[in-house]
Structure 1
């Protein structure tokens, strides 16, 4: 696809938000994701309170994210076959139901670590179905010319929620415990579900294809399509690598907060909010570009940014510097996520979109989970600092590999001719 032009600053965002469907969709997304972040902060703090162990906190994060390894390819194939609006509603009600049950156990003091692990497995499974079904609707709510801004807005909503959710969760947990934060997540997903029937979408956009043939055949076809695509395959591989190396820290923040910086739940809220603020600022700036050209290069630079910010985050025990680095890490993560999603949405065959986005969902859920688990286990033997610095250095190696592949990826993803990297 050719570059979409360079509109005046903020014009692309305003145009993408001018459509009724996008207003409904992004408002409900923002609400649901605020609930998601309330839930995440409450759950990891519960795990830390119950066990006081970095490895157990890592395992809880792992249980929330790892179901995507099994579920996401299947969920993407289903999202390409069925009514995506109805599937989104069903999965969101499932998320709300498990949150209500978890909140009740936390409120009554009957929650143990094993039960928490089970609830997070259920939660991760539901989210693995919700992610491709909901995200495949983004191209349906705006005209093609507004797609880059709409994808950026989608990520922007997530990162606004990543700031607002912890800002609410920190004081709420400090004064009333984790249960009210989890109950608010229930309410958020119920309201978000009720808004879905308000969307007016073309029937062709609600369903990818007629669903003939086996579901397993669809899964295999999606994997083969991604692997053979000269742009999608490499950029998804790069995303998997950086998610493994750099995203795990954000999933197990309580040990870092207490062991490296000597803070409590208020420190957790500040750091999580810093990730969100950085991501929000970067997301706004990227959304105002309004063009596709150069997005592949941006995604690669964002990998280097994550590696450097991650190293800075654990370099000292000085909390203000860690907050700054958390903001930079959030910004780089946001740029990378928006760039990859924009390229994936633009370059994918519409009939394959659910399956490609399910692979993205798998990457951003499974690989941070693996990273969190590895960091938690390594922390027990080597402390938190040195394994994290090693991950940061490996991220820079990933960046070098991505830059070597960048011209060919850009040609396939952006529709621009490949250029000599020396040119």
Structure 2
């Protein structure tokens, strides 16, 4: 399970990130709870998520073109330093008790712009810091495991801190968590980078990347599946503060239970993926995970039991991580070296870029249909998307079979 840690650079990356991602979830949980507590608005709650993620939709293609041309190691250090400054500004704002929703929204947008480049750089850099390329799927899965362990520890810790000390400690904690990351990046020894000689042509690069994805038929179908899920399904998480506070009459700690439960499920899924000996069956894993995600969301929407709801959150975490990580692994392992950064940028567009649009739509629709009905519809959409995916997959297989020459035995 831990074979990718044999690579020194990946080990440094892994240990540095183990602190930083907990800080990220501290801040994310605190922002969600604080915005809803201050405003009582589901729309503003969705808008905050929207602004922190929407830049990926528009900037990911640019990020893919730029990251593929410059030193990814140095780019990562610059981006992490900028993220630390953003976290510090938010921490100072809350420490001074300036609960201005406009400032919070602006800082969320700045965070989203940084993340649009950071996430593309982080994923593309995997191939540079893993010595044995056969360990690349394991590295992707371990990174997902780490992220989702933080998804358990971060909200759980945030629930305690919010209840006992206040939100300013959460934001200060996130600011300080960037220090280990910058140290680990500084200690890495990356082979000299050969700078690209061709000029940056964003439109040409974008078209070339689209043509490549179209030719890689399986990759295109997976990205469409992820786009549908990010736009209409995964955004159900945006409504979890409403479930915690209004439906189950809970507090910040109750909300942290929901986040942690989903994190437990994600870790289970990531551990399973990390132990895969081969990525040849990754398509079937994606299909099974998508079915589990849709079914668990439907049950969650109908549940009146806190225990059952938490179980559904665990199952949704398994499904969500299984779906997104299996697609990520497929792209990382199947993309050619000169197209990897652009392929990953399309992954970031389909995943990170579409979630905020979905969050905004879901926040608006829930006003009209109610939270439970909205979440139930999201689960049904997920299941329908699996049916559509299987239909076109089988249709393609049938066409290939019909075009194959028939061989007769004597």
TM-score bracket for the superposition, by shorter chain length: over 0.9
1:297 shift after superposition:
1.3
Q: 2:319 aligns with which of 332, 337, 342?
A: 332
Q: Distance in 2 between matches of 1:68 and 1:281?
A: 27
When residues 211 and 87 of structure 1 are mapped into structure 2, their CA distance, relative to the original with a 3 A threshold, is farther
1:140 shift after superposition:
2.2
Q: Distance in 1 between matches of 2:314 and 2:300?
A: 10
Q: Distance in 2 between matches of 1:195 and 1:252?
A: 36
- Which residue does the alignment assign to 2:232? 245
8 Å CA contact 1:48–1:54 kept in 2: the answer is yes
Q: Distance in 2 between matches of 1:319 and 1:41?
A: 19
8 Å CA contact 1:155–1:337 kept in 2: the answer is no
- Which residue does the alignment assign to 2:371? 384
Q: Distance in 2 between matches of 1:168 and 1:382?
A: 33
Q: Distance in 1 between matches of 2:235 and 2:335?
A: 28
When residues 408 and 236 of structure 1 are mapped into structure 2, their CA distance, relative to the original with a 3 A threshold, is farther
1:133 shift after superposition:
0.8
When residues 107 and 213 of structure 1 are mapped into structure 2, their CA distance, relative to the original with a 3 A threshold, is closer
8 Å CA contact 1:85–1:134 kept in 2: the answer is no
Q: 2:73 aligns with which of 65, 69, 85?
A: 85
Please state if 1:305 is matched with 2:292.
yes
8 Å CA contact 1:41–1:169 kept in 2: the answer is yes
CA RMSD of aligned residues (A): 1.9
Q: Distance in 2 between matches of 1:179 and 1:407?
A: 53
- Which protein is bigger by CA-based radius of gyration? 2
Please state if 1:44 is matched with 2:29.
no
- Which residue does the alignment assign to 2:306? 319
Please state if 1:400 is matched with 2:381.
no
Paired residue secondary structure (1:81): coil
Paired residue secondary structure (1:231): helix
8 Å CA contact 1:85–1:197 kept in 2: the answer is no
8 Å CA contact 1:69–1:366 kept in 2: the answer is yes
After superposition, give the CA deviation of every residue in 1:243-272 in whole Å (9 maximum; x if it has no partner): 122211223421121122211101111010
Moved more, 357-366 or 315-324: 357-366
Moved more, 73-82 or 16-25: 16-25
TM-score (norm 2): 0.93
- Which residue does the alignment assign to 1:74? 62
Count of residue correspondences: 399
Paired residue secondary structure (1:203): coil
8 Å CA contact 2:57–2:348 kept in 1: the answer is no
When residues 252 and 82 of structure 1 are mapped into structure 2, their CA distance, relative to the original with a 3 A threshold, is farther
- Which residue does the alignment assign to 2:407? none
Q: 2:205 aligns with which of 213, 218, 228?
A: 218
1:167 shift after superposition:
1.4
Unaligned ranges ≥5, structure 2: 403-410
Q: Distance in 2 between matches of 1:317 and 1:89?
A: 46
Q: Distance in 2 between matches of 1:215 and 1:376?
A: 33
- Which residue does the alignment assign to 1:10? none
Q: Distance in 1 between matches of 2:300 and 2:396?
A: 31
Please state if 1:180 is matched with 2:164.
no
- Which residue does the alignment assign to 1:166? 155
Paired residue secondary structure (1:276): helix
After superposition, give the CA deviation of every residue in 1:135-162 in whole Å (9 maximum; x if it has no partner): 1111222212111111111111111111
Moved more, 121-130 or 400-409: 400-409
8 Å CA contact 1:303–1:399 kept in 2: the answer is yes
Q: Distance in 2 between matches of 1:278 and 1:37?
A: 16
Unaligned ranges ≥5, structure 1: 1-12, 411-417
1:341 shift after superposition:
0.8
Paired residue secondary structure (2:6): coil
When residues 73 and 15 of structure 1 are mapped into structure 2, their CA distance, relative to the original with a 3 A threshold, is same
After superposition, give the CA deviation of every residue in 1:223-248 in whole Å (9 maximum; x if it has no partner): 33223321211111100101122211
1:328 shift after superposition:
0.3
Moved more, 184-193 or 230-239: 184-193
Q: Distance in 1 between matches of 2:92 and 2:395?
A: 52
8 Å CA contact 2:32–2:241 kept in 1: the answer is yes
- Which residue does the alignment assign to 2:352? 365
Q: Distance in 2 between matches of 1:404 and 1:390?
A: 21
Q: 1:196 aligns with which of 185, 191, 213?
A: 185
After superposition, give the CA deviation of every residue in 1:98-117 in whole Å (9 maximum; x if it has no partner): 11111111121112111111
Q: Distance in 1 between matches of 2:334 and 2:288?
A: 20
8 Å CA contact 1:296–1:409 kept in 2: the answer is no
Q: Distance in 2 between matches of 1:404 and 1:108?
A: 56
1:405 shift after superposition:
3.6
1:131 shift after superposition:
0.6
Q: Distance in 2 between matches of 1:247 and 1:265?
A: 21
Q: Distance in 1 between matches of 2:401 and 2:12?
A: 41
- Which residue does the alignment assign to 1:354? 341
8 Å CA contact 1:16–1:146 kept in 2: the answer is yes
Please state if 1:144 is matched with 2:133.
yes
